[in-house]
Amino acid sequence: MTTRHPVVSTLPAIAFVTLVTTGEVIALCHGKQDYYRVQTQLKSEDLNRLYGVSPTQARAMLRHFIRDQSFPVER
């Protein structure tokens, strides 16, 4: 039998995603239900790289965030 470890323990404190509808970059903070708009010329992928956030971690943060939300976030 495989032991599953919770993904939550490996999530970063912050991850960045791009809103599909506007192209805006937003920040998702671990444990928060709100998001924060980020004014930057960088792409979310570049910001995640700077913060040491892997694409897998960013997707996991996004999944946890939108689980109870009703708007489209990242592509």
DSSP string covering 12-68, please?
-SEEEEE-TTT--EEEEETT-S-EEEE--SS-HHHHHHHTT--HHHHHHHHHHHHTT
**Residues belonging to the chain:** 75
Rg, the chain, Cα only:
13
DSSP assigned state of 9: G
The overall longest dimension of the chain from CA atoms, in Å, is 47
User: Does pLDDT of 75 surpass 80?
Assistant: no
Whether the model pTM is above 0.75: yes
pLDDT (0 to 100) of residue 73? 53
Mean pLDDT (the chain, rounded): 85
pLDDT (0 to 100) of residue 64? 85
